[in-house]
Chain A
Protein backbone atom coordinates (compact mmCIF):
# COMPACT_ATOMS: atom_id res chain seq x y z
CA UNK A 1 0.00 0.00 0.00
CA UNK A 2 1.34 3.41 -0.94
CA UNK A 3 1.32 6.18 1.63
CA UNK A 4 -1.03 8.36 -0.43
CA UNK A 5 -3.52 5.47 -0.71
CA UNK A 6 -3.90 5.11 3.07
CA UNK A 7 -7.61 5.62 3.81
CA UNK A 8 -8.68 8.27 6.34
CA UNK A 9 -12.35 7.42 6.81
CA UNK A 10 -13.75 8.34 10.20
CA UNK A 11 -15.55 5.63 12.15
CA UNK A 12 -15.76 4.13 15.62
CA UNK A 13 -12.12 4.98 16.37
CA UNK A 14 -12.82 8.71 16.21
CA UNK A 15 -11.98 10.45 19.51
CA UNK A 16 -10.20 7.25 20.63
CA UNK A 17 -7.06 6.94 18.59
CA UNK A 18 -5.64 6.74 15.11
CA UNK A 19 -3.99 3.48 14.21
CA UNK A 20 -0.54 2.66 12.92
CA UNK A 21 -0.33 1.26 9.39
CA UNK A 22 2.69 0.19 7.37
CA UNK A 23 2.89 1.98 4.03
CA UNK A 24 5.40 2.61 1.23
CA UNK A 25 6.78 6.14 0.96
CA UNK A 26 7.90 8.01 -2.20
CA UNK A 27 11.25 6.16 -2.20
CA UNK A 28 9.53 2.79 -2.10
CA UNK A 29 10.61 2.22 1.52
CA UNK A 30 8.33 1.13 4.34
CA UNK A 31 7.32 3.59 7.01
CA UNK A 32 4.48 3.96 9.48
CA UNK A 33 1.56 6.31 9.02
CA UNK A 34 -1.54 6.99 11.09
CA UNK A 35 -4.98 6.21 9.73
CA UNK A 36 -8.35 7.36 11.07
CA UNK A 37 -10.01 4.26 9.69
CA UNK A 38 -11.22 2.56 6.54
CA UNK A 39 -14.77 2.46 5.20
CA UNK A 40 -14.42 -1.23 4.26
CA UNK A 41 -13.78 -2.36 7.81
CA UNK A 42 -16.15 0.15 9.34
CA UNK A 43 -18.91 -1.53 7.33
CA UNK A 44 -17.73 -4.96 8.52
CA UNK A 45 -17.93 -3.79 12.13
CA UNK A 46 -21.34 -2.18 11.51
CA UNK A 47 -22.72 -5.39 10.04
CA UNK A 48 -21.37 -7.39 12.98
CA UNK A 49 -23.26 -5.04 15.33
CA UNK A 50 -26.42 -5.25 13.24
CA UNK A 51 -26.23 -9.00 13.72
CA UNK A 52 -25.70 -8.62 17.47
CA UNK A 53 -28.68 -6.27 17.76
CA UNK A 54 -30.86 -8.64 15.76
CA UNK A 55 -29.89 -11.52 18.06
CA UNK A 56 -30.64 -9.45 21.16
CA UNK A 57 -34.05 -8.50 19.78
CA UNK A 58 -34.79 -12.14 18.92
CA UNK A 59 -33.83 -13.12 22.47
CA UNK A 60 -36.14 -10.45 23.89
CA UNK A 61 -39.03 -11.79 21.84
CA UNK A 62 -38.26 -15.34 23.00
CA UNK A 63 -38.48 -14.18 26.63
CA UNK A 64 -41.80 -12.43 25.96
CA UNK A 65 -43.16 -15.59 24.33
CA UNK A 66 -42.11 -17.52 27.44
CA UNK A 67 -39.71 -19.77 25.51
CA UNK A 68 -36.50 -18.59 27.16
CA UNK A 69 -35.48 -17.26 30.55
CA UNK A 70 -34.05 -13.75 31.09
CA UNK A 71 -30.58 -15.32 31.30
CA UNK A 72 -30.77 -15.99 27.58
CA UNK A 73 -31.59 -12.35 26.84
CA UNK A 74 -28.78 -10.93 29.00
CA UNK A 75 -26.33 -13.47 27.63
CA UNK A 76 -26.99 -12.15 24.11
CA UNK A 77 -27.05 -8.54 25.31
CA UNK A 78 -23.57 -8.96 26.80
CA UNK A 79 -22.31 -10.70 23.61
CA UNK A 80 -21.64 -13.87 25.58
CA UNK A 81 -21.85 -17.50 24.56
CA UNK A 82 -21.99 -20.52 26.87
CA UNK A 83 -18.22 -20.88 27.47
CA UNK A 84 -17.85 -17.17 28.28
CA UNK A 85 -20.86 -17.08 30.61
CA UNK A 86 -19.65 -20.29 32.22
CA UNK A 87 -16.28 -18.61 32.86
CA UNK A 88 -17.84 -15.54 34.49
CA UNK A 89 -20.33 -17.46 36.65
CA UNK A 90 -18.36 -20.60 37.44
CA UNK A 91 -21.46 -22.61 36.47
CA UNK A 92 -20.98 -25.46 33.98
CA UNK A 93 -22.45 -24.94 30.49
CA UNK A 94 -24.61 -28.01 30.93
CA UNK A 95 -26.43 -26.35 33.84
CA UNK A 96 -26.56 -22.94 32.15
CA UNK A 97 -28.41 -24.56 29.26
CA UNK A 98 -31.03 -25.77 31.72
CA UNK A 99 -31.27 -22.32 33.33
CA UNK A 100 -32.28 -20.90 29.96
CA UNK A 101 -35.65 -22.63 30.39
CA UNK A 102 -38.18 -20.35 32.11
CA UNK A 103 -39.51 -23.15 34.35
CA UNK A 104 -36.03 -24.00 35.67
CA UNK A 105 -35.12 -20.32 35.98
CA UNK A 106 -38.07 -19.66 38.32
CA UNK A 107 -36.70 -22.17 40.82
CA UNK A 108 -33.10 -20.85 40.84
CA UNK A 109 -31.55 -20.14 44.21
CA UNK A 110 -30.69 -16.58 45.20
CA UNK A 111 -27.00 -17.52 45.16
CA UNK A 112 -27.08 -18.67 41.54
CA UNK A 113 -29.08 -15.62 40.52
CA UNK A 114 -26.46 -13.43 42.14
CA UNK A 115 -23.71 -15.12 40.13
CA UNK A 116 -25.58 -14.44 36.92
CA UNK A 117 -26.41 -10.87 37.91
CA UNK A 118 -22.76 -10.16 38.66
CA UNK A 119 -21.68 -11.62 35.33
CA UNK A 120 -24.20 -9.41 33.51
CA UNK A 121 -23.43 -6.30 35.55
CA UNK A 122 -27.06 -5.90 36.70
CA UNK A 123 -28.99 -6.32 39.95
CA UNK A 124 -30.66 -9.59 40.92
CA UNK A 125 -34.02 -7.81 40.82
CA UNK A 126 -33.66 -6.63 37.25
CA UNK A 127 -32.66 -10.16 36.23
CA UNK A 128 -35.60 -11.76 38.03
CA UNK A 129 -38.17 -9.24 36.87
CA UNK A 130 -37.12 -8.93 33.24
CA UNK A 131 -40.22 -9.46 31.16
CA UNK A 132 -38.92 -8.46 27.74
Chain B
Protein backbone atom coordinates (compact mmCIF):
# COMPACT_ATOMS: atom_id res chain seq x y z
CA UNK B 1 0.00 0.00 0.00
CA UNK B 2 1.27 3.42 -0.91
CA UNK B 3 1.29 5.55 2.21
CA UNK B 4 2.96 8.46 0.49
CA UNK B 5 -0.23 9.41 -1.26
CA UNK B 6 -1.22 11.64 1.66
CA UNK B 7 -1.31 14.77 -0.41
CA UNK B 8 -3.99 13.34 -2.67
CA UNK B 9 -7.23 15.21 -2.88
CA UNK B 10 -9.77 14.62 -0.16
CA UNK B 11 -12.72 12.44 -1.13
CA UNK B 12 -16.13 12.76 0.47
CA UNK B 13 -17.48 9.47 1.82
CA UNK B 14 -21.17 9.08 2.60
CA UNK B 15 -21.87 6.68 5.44
CA UNK B 16 -24.74 5.73 7.71
CA UNK B 17 -23.15 7.11 10.85
CA UNK B 18 -21.20 10.36 11.22
CA UNK B 19 -18.32 9.15 13.39
CA UNK B 20 -17.72 6.05 11.26
CA UNK B 21 -17.76 8.33 8.24
CA UNK B 22 -15.23 10.79 9.60
CA UNK B 23 -12.97 7.92 10.66
CA UNK B 24 -13.25 6.20 7.27
CA UNK B 25 -12.75 9.34 5.18
CA UNK B 26 -9.79 10.66 7.21
CA UNK B 27 -8.01 7.29 7.20
CA UNK B 28 -8.61 6.83 3.48
CA UNK B 29 -7.20 10.28 2.89
CA UNK B 30 -4.07 9.10 4.71
CA UNK B 31 -3.77 6.27 2.22
CA UNK B 32 -5.63 3.47 4.04
CA UNK B 33 -7.81 2.69 1.03
CA UNK B 34 -9.06 -0.56 2.52
CA UNK B 35 -11.01 1.31 5.23
CA UNK B 36 -14.78 0.97 5.08
CA UNK B 37 -17.56 2.05 7.40
CA UNK B 38 -18.31 -1.48 8.70
CA UNK B 39 -14.60 -2.10 9.34
CA UNK B 40 -14.19 1.17 11.26
CA UNK B 41 -17.35 0.40 13.23
CA UNK B 42 -16.29 -3.17 14.09
CA UNK B 43 -12.66 -2.41 14.92
CA UNK B 44 -13.93 0.40 17.15
CA UNK B 45 -16.34 -2.05 18.87
CA UNK B 46 -19.21 0.29 17.99
CA UNK B 47 -22.19 -1.93 18.80
CA UNK B 48 -23.77 -1.39 22.17
CA UNK B 49 -26.99 -0.98 24.07
CA UNK B 50 -27.62 1.16 27.11
CA UNK B 51 -30.54 2.81 28.83
CA UNK B 52 -28.85 5.41 31.00
CA UNK B 53 -30.57 5.45 34.42
CA UNK B 54 -32.19 8.63 35.80
CA UNK B 55 -31.42 10.57 32.65
CA UNK B 56 -33.95 11.90 30.16
CA UNK B 57 -33.11 13.31 26.74
CA UNK B 58 -35.65 15.55 25.02
CA UNK B 59 -38.13 14.48 27.71
CA UNK B 60 -37.77 10.78 26.91
CA UNK B 61 -35.63 7.81 27.95
CA UNK B 62 -31.89 8.09 27.23
CA UNK B 63 -31.18 5.05 25.08
CA UNK B 64 -28.21 4.43 22.85
CA UNK B 65 -27.52 1.62 20.39
CA UNK B 66 -23.84 2.44 20.00
CA UNK B 67 -20.77 3.03 22.08
CA UNK B 68 -19.68 6.40 23.52
CA UNK B 69 -19.03 9.28 21.13
CA UNK B 70 -15.39 9.46 20.11
CA UNK B 71 -14.60 5.84 20.98
CA UNK B 72 -14.82 4.43 17.45
CA UNK B 73 -12.30 6.89 16.01
CA UNK B 74 -9.97 6.44 18.95
CA UNK B 75 -10.03 2.64 19.05
CA UNK B 76 -9.82 2.09 15.30
CA UNK B 77 -6.83 4.42 14.96
CA UNK B 78 -5.13 2.82 17.95
CA UNK B 79 -5.60 -0.70 16.58
CA UNK B 80 -3.91 0.34 13.35
CA UNK B 81 -1.06 2.13 15.11
CA UNK B 82 -2.19 5.49 13.74
CA UNK B 83 -1.17 8.49 15.86
CA UNK B 84 -3.97 10.90 16.53
CA UNK B 85 -4.02 14.58 17.44
CA UNK B 86 -7.04 15.89 19.31
CA UNK B 87 -7.64 19.27 20.85
CA UNK B 88 -10.36 21.03 22.80
CA UNK B 89 -10.46 24.75 23.44
CA UNK B 90 -11.80 27.07 26.08
CA UNK B 91 -11.19 30.04 23.83
CA UNK B 92 -13.13 30.52 20.60
CA UNK B 93 -10.46 32.57 18.86
CA UNK B 94 -7.79 29.98 19.62
CA UNK B 95 -10.08 27.28 18.20
CA UNK B 96 -10.62 29.28 15.02
CA UNK B 97 -6.91 30.00 14.65
CA UNK B 98 -5.99 26.33 15.02
CA UNK B 99 -8.55 25.29 12.42
CA UNK B 100 -7.38 27.99 10.00
CA UNK B 101 -3.81 26.79 10.41
CA UNK B 102 -4.81 23.22 9.51
CA UNK B 103 -6.88 24.41 6.56
CA UNK B 104 -3.88 26.40 5.31
CA UNK B 105 -1.70 23.30 5.63
CA UNK B 106 -4.28 21.42 3.58
CA UNK B 107 -5.03 18.89 6.32
CA UNK B 108 -8.66 17.67 6.51
CA UNK B 109 -9.79 17.56 10.15
CA UNK B 110 -12.71 16.07 12.05
CA UNK B 111 -14.82 18.41 14.16
CA UNK B 112 -17.39 17.59 16.81
CA UNK B 113 -20.42 19.87 16.50
CA UNK B 114 -23.92 20.43 17.85
CA UNK B 115 -26.78 20.11 15.36
CA UNK B 116 -29.17 22.71 16.81
CA UNK B 117 -27.54 25.57 14.91
CA UNK B 118 -26.32 23.49 11.97
CA UNK B 119 -27.82 25.56 9.16
CA UNK B 120 -27.83 22.96 6.40
CA UNK B 121 -29.76 20.39 8.47
CA UNK B 122 -33.54 20.34 8.03
CA UNK B 123 -35.25 22.11 10.91
CA UNK B 124 -37.05 18.91 11.96
CA UNK B 125 -33.73 17.31 12.88
CA UNK B 126 -32.28 20.21 14.82
CA UNK B 127 -32.48 19.22 18.47
CA UNK B 128 -29.77 19.98 21.03
CA UNK B 129 -27.60 17.01 20.14
CA UNK B 130 -23.90 17.73 20.51
CA UNK B 131 -22.12 14.61 19.29
CA UNK B 132 -22.39 15.08 15.54
CA UNK B 133 -19.17 14.90 13.51
CA UNK B 134 -18.09 16.44 10.24
CA UNK B 135 -14.90 17.09 8.29
CA UNK B 136 -13.52 20.50 7.33
CA UNK B 137 -11.37 19.98 4.23
CA UNK B 138 -10.72 23.42 2.78
CA UNK B 139 -11.84 26.97 2.30
CA UNK B 140 -13.32 28.78 -0.67
CA UNK B 141 -14.53 32.40 -0.83
CA UNK B 142 -14.41 32.71 2.96
CA UNK B 143 -16.56 29.63 3.44
CA UNK B 144 -15.30 26.41 4.97
CA UNK B 145 -15.77 23.32 2.82
CA UNK B 146 -17.63 20.70 4.82
CA UNK B 147 -17.87 16.98 4.26
CA UNK B 148 -20.74 15.76 6.43
CA UNK B 149 -20.72 11.96 6.27
CA UNK B 150 -24.48 11.56 6.51
CA UNK B 151 -24.98 13.69 3.39
CA UNK B 152 -24.79 12.66 -0.24
CA UNK B 153 -22.78 15.75 -1.17
CA UNK B 154 -20.31 18.18 0.35
CA UNK B 155 -21.52 21.55 1.60
CA UNK B 156 -20.09 24.71 3.19
CA UNK B 157 -20.41 26.91 6.28
CA UNK B 158 -19.43 30.51 7.04
CA UNK B 159 -16.96 31.24 9.83
CA UNK B 160 -19.76 32.31 12.19
CA UNK B 161 -21.90 29.27 11.41
CA UNK B 162 -19.04 26.85 11.97
CA UNK B 163 -17.84 28.49 15.20
CA UNK B 164 -21.36 28.45 16.53
CA UNK B 165 -21.80 24.69 16.11
CA UNK B 166 -18.27 23.97 17.33
CA UNK B 167 -19.12 25.83 20.52
CA UNK B 168 -22.63 24.47 21.02
CA UNK B 169 -23.55 24.19 24.71
CA UNK B 170 -25.25 21.66 26.94
CA UNK B 171 -24.52 17.96 27.57
CA UNK B 172 -21.49 16.69 25.58
CA UNK B 173 -20.60 20.27 24.59
CA UNK B 174 -17.94 19.96 21.85
CA UNK B 175 -15.72 22.83 23.11
CA UNK B 176 -14.25 23.21 19.65
CA UNK B 177 -13.12 19.54 19.66
CA UNK B 178 -10.95 18.90 16.62
CA UNK B 179 -9.15 15.67 15.71
CA UNK B 180 -7.21 14.05 12.90
CA UNK B 181 -4.79 11.16 12.25
CA UNK B 182 -1.22 12.41 12.40
CA UNK B 183 1.12 9.78 11.05
CA UNK B 184 0.36 6.49 9.38
CA UNK B 185 2.78 3.60 9.15
CA UNK B 186 2.46 0.93 6.48
CA UNK B 187 -0.29 -1.45 7.53
CA UNK B 188 -0.09 -5.18 6.99
CA UNK B 189 -3.05 -7.53 6.59
CA UNK B 190 -1.89 -9.15 9.78
CA UNK B 191 -2.35 -5.89 11.69
CA UNK B 192 -5.86 -5.54 10.23
CA UNK B 193 -6.69 -9.10 11.35
CA UNK B 194 -5.40 -8.32 14.82
CA UNK B 195 -7.50 -5.15 14.93
CA UNK B 196 -10.60 -7.11 13.90
CA UNK B 197 -10.01 -9.73 16.57
CA UNK B 198 -9.49 -7.11 19.21
CA UNK B 199 -12.56 -5.15 18.14
CA UNK B 200 -14.73 -8.26 18.35
CA UNK B 201 -13.37 -9.36 21.73
CA UNK B 202 -13.93 -5.90 23.21
CA UNK B 203 -17.47 -5.84 21.81
CA UNK B 204 -18.18 -9.24 23.37
CA UNK B 205 -16.98 -7.89 26.69
CA UNK B 206 -19.12 -4.73 26.42
CA UNK B 207 -22.29 -6.59 25.50
CA UNK B 208 -22.00 -9.68 27.73
CA UNK B 209 -19.84 -8.85 30.71
CA UNK B 210 -20.49 -5.20 31.53
CA UNK B 211 -21.58 -4.87 35.15
CA UNK B 212 -25.09 -3.67 35.98
CA UNK B 213 -28.42 -4.52 34.40
CA UNK B 214 -29.01 -1.48 32.21
CA UNK B 215 -26.25 -1.94 29.61
CA UNK B 216 -25.19 -4.61 27.15
CA UNK B 217 -27.65 -7.38 26.24
CA UNK B 218 -29.15 -7.14 29.73
CA UNK B 219 -29.94 -3.49 29.03
CA UNK B 220 -32.41 -4.64 26.39
CA UNK B 221 -34.24 -6.67 29.04
CA UNK B 222 -34.10 -3.66 31.36
CA UNK B 223 -35.89 -1.49 28.77
CA UNK B 224 -38.29 -4.33 28.01
CA UNK B 225 -39.33 -4.39 31.68
CA UNK B 226 -39.86 -0.63 31.57
CA UNK B 227 -41.97 -0.80 28.41
CA UNK B 228 -44.31 -3.27 30.11
CA UNK B 229 -45.01 -0.72 32.86
CA UNK B 230 -45.09 2.51 30.84
CA UNK B 231 -48.79 2.42 29.89
CA UNK B 232 -49.95 2.29 33.52
CA UNK B 233 -47.20 4.42 34.96
CA UNK B 234 -46.99 7.25 32.44
CA UNK B 235 -50.34 7.22 30.69
CA UNK B 236 -50.84 6.42 27.03
CA UNK B 237 -49.70 9.79 25.67
CA UNK B 238 -46.38 9.92 27.42
CA UNK B 239 -45.78 6.20 26.93
CA UNK B 240 -46.18 6.59 23.19
CA UNK B 241 -43.76 9.53 23.17
CA UNK B 242 -41.25 7.33 24.97
CA UNK B 243 -41.66 4.60 22.36
CA UNK B 244 -41.23 7.21 19.63
CA UNK B 245 -37.97 8.20 21.24
CA UNK B 246 -36.71 4.59 21.13
CA UNK B 247 -37.56 4.37 17.43
CA UNK B 248 -35.76 7.63 16.71
CA UNK B 249 -32.61 6.51 18.51
CA UNK B 250 -32.80 3.18 16.71
CA UNK B 251 -33.63 4.21 13.15
CA UNK B 252 -33.04 7.92 12.75
CA UNK B 253 -30.40 9.05 10.35
CA UNK B 254 -27.10 7.46 11.24
CA UNK B 255 -27.68 3.87 12.31
CA UNK B 256 -27.81 2.14 8.93
CA UNK B 257 -31.13 0.62 10.05
CA UNK B 258 -31.99 -1.72 12.91
CA UNK B 259 -30.02 0.23 15.52
CA UNK B 260 -26.58 -0.49 13.93
CA UNK B 261 -27.26 -4.25 13.92
CA UNK B 262 -27.16 -4.48 10.10
CA UNK B 263 -23.94 -2.48 10.11
CA UNK B 264 -22.41 -4.97 12.54
CA UNK B 265 -23.62 -7.83 10.34
CA UNK B 266 -21.85 -6.19 7.40
CA UNK B 267 -18.71 -5.88 9.50
CA UNK B 268 -18.70 -9.58 10.40
CA UNK B 269 -19.13 -10.44 6.73
CA UNK B 270 -16.08 -8.34 5.86
CA UNK B 271 -14.21 -9.73 8.86
CA UNK B 272 -14.90 -13.26 7.70
CA UNK B 273 -13.11 -12.53 4.41
CA UNK B 274 -10.09 -10.99 6.17
CA UNK B 275 -9.85 -13.83 8.70
CA UNK B 276 -10.73 -16.55 6.17
CA UNK B 277 -13.20 -17.81 8.73
CA UNK B 278 -16.70 -18.81 7.62
CA UNK B 279 -17.95 -18.95 11.19
CA UNK B 280 -17.96 -15.14 11.27
CA UNK B 281 -20.33 -14.86 8.33
CA UNK B 282 -22.62 -17.36 10.05
CA UNK B 283 -22.78 -15.14 13.13
CA UNK B 284 -23.38 -12.21 10.77
CA UNK B 285 -26.76 -13.82 10.00
CA UNK B 286 -27.69 -13.62 13.69
CA UNK B 287 -27.17 -9.86 13.65
CA UNK B 288 -29.26 -9.55 10.52
CA UNK B 289 -31.97 -11.36 12.43
CA UNK B 290 -31.55 -9.03 15.42
CA UNK B 291 -31.77 -5.98 13.13
CA UNK B 292 -34.92 -7.36 11.50
CA UNK B 293 -36.45 -7.90 14.94
CA UNK B 294 -35.60 -4.33 15.97
CA UNK B 295 -37.34 -3.12 12.81
CA UNK B 296 -40.35 -5.30 13.61
CA UNK B 297 -40.53 -3.84 17.11
CA UNK B 298 -40.35 -0.32 15.63
CA UNK B 299 -43.36 -1.07 13.41
CA UNK B 300 -45.27 -2.25 16.46
CA UNK B 301 -44.26 0.86 18.42
CA UNK B 302 -45.39 3.04 15.53
CA UNK B 303 -48.81 1.43 15.92
CA UNK B 304 -48.89 2.82 19.45
CA UNK B 305 -47.86 6.38 18.67
CA UNK B 306 -50.17 6.39 15.65
CA UNK B 307 -52.92 5.73 18.17
CA UNK B 308 -53.92 2.45 16.51
CA UNK B 309 -52.66 0.19 19.32
CA UNK B 310 -53.70 1.22 22.81
CA UNK B 311 -54.02 -1.95 24.91
CA UNK B 312 -51.66 -3.26 27.57
CA UNK B 313 -51.29 -6.42 25.47
CA UNK B 314 -49.69 -4.30 22.72
CA UNK B 315 -47.10 -3.03 25.18
CA UNK B 316 -46.54 -6.62 26.32
CA UNK B 317 -45.99 -7.73 22.73
CA UNK B 318 -43.36 -5.00 22.22
CA UNK B 319 -41.65 -5.99 25.45
CA UNK B 320 -41.68 -9.65 24.33
CA UNK B 321 -40.04 -8.80 21.00
CA UNK B 322 -37.31 -7.02 22.95
CA UNK B 323 -36.74 -10.13 25.06
CA UNK B 324 -36.41 -12.14 21.83
CA UNK B 325 -33.87 -9.62 20.57
CA UNK B 326 -31.92 -9.94 23.79
CA UNK B 327 -31.64 -13.70 23.47
CA UNK B 328 -30.66 -13.50 19.77
CA UNK B 329 -27.92 -10.97 20.52
CA UNK B 330 -26.79 -12.76 23.62
CA UNK B 331 -26.39 -16.01 21.73
CA UNK B 332 -24.61 -14.27 18.85
CA UNK B 333 -22.05 -12.68 21.15
CA UNK B 334 -21.58 -15.95 23.00
CA UNK B 335 -20.78 -17.58 19.66
CA UNK B 336 -18.26 -14.81 18.95
CA UNK B 337 -16.81 -15.30 22.39
CA UNK B 338 -16.22 -19.02 21.71
CA UNK B 339 -14.45 -18.39 18.40
CA UNK B 340 -11.07 -17.75 20.04
CA UNK B 341 -9.93 -15.19 17.52
CA UNK B 342 -6.45 -15.08 19.05
CA UNK B 343 -4.74 -12.43 21.11
Contact = CB atoms under 8 A, between A and B. Distances in A.
Contacts of A23: 257, 262
A130 interface: no
A13 interface: yes
Interface stretch (A39-47, A58-66, A104-112): A39-47
A48 interface: yes
B15 interface: yes
Most buried by B among A1, A83, A88: A1
Contacts of B235: none
Interface string A78-97: 11100110011000000000
A35 B245 CA distance: 21
B172 to A, nearest CB: 10
Contact of A41 (B150, B241, B284, B298): B298
Interface in B244-274: 244-245, 247-248, 251-254, 256-258, 262-263, 265-266, 269
Contacts of B243: 44
A79 B115 CA distance: 12
B269 A30 contact: yes
A17 B244 CA distance: 22
A20 interface: yes
A12 B127 CA distance: 14
B122 A41 contact: no
Interface stretch (B76-84, B105-113, B202-210, B288-296): B288-296
Nearest to B249: A44
B173 interface: yes
A41 B258 contact: no
Contact of B256 (A15, A22, A48, A79): A22
B265 A12 contact: no
Given A1-B292, A17-B151, A87-B173, A41 B248 contact: yes
Contact of B122 (A12, A22, A44): A12
A18 interface: yes
A24 B169 contact: no
B269 A18 contact: no
Contacts of A48: 58, 241, 244-245, 248
Given A1-B258, A22-B256, A43-B305, A30 B171 contact: no
B257 A21 contact: yes
B328 interface: no
A118 B72 CA distance: 35
Contacts of B299: 40
B161 interface: no
Contacts of A18: 152
Nearest to B117: A121
B262 A12 contact: no
Contact of A51 (B59, B153, B298, B302): B59
Contacts of A20: 14-16, 37, 150, 256
Interface string B298-319: 1101100110000000000000
B330 interface: no
Nearest to B153: A17
A78 B169 CA distance: 13
14 contacts: A1-B291, A12-B125, A19-B254, A21-B16, A30-B265, A32-B16, A40-B251, A43-B244, A43-B302, A43-B306, A45-B124, A55-B59, A79-B127, A88-B170
8 smallest CB-CB distances across A and B, nearest first, come from A87-B169, A84-B170, A30-B266, A12-B124, A22-B262, A44-B244, A44-B247, A40-B302
Interface of B: 14-16, 37-38, 58-59, 116, 120-122, 124-125, 127-128, 150-153, 169-171, 173, 240-241, 243-245, 247-248, 251-254, 256-258, 262-263, 265-266, 269, 284, 288, 291-292, 295, 298-299, 301-302, 305-306
Given A17-B151, A43-B306, A48-B241, 7 more contacts: A1-B292, A19-B16, A40-B251, A41-B247, A45-B124, A79-B58, A84-B170
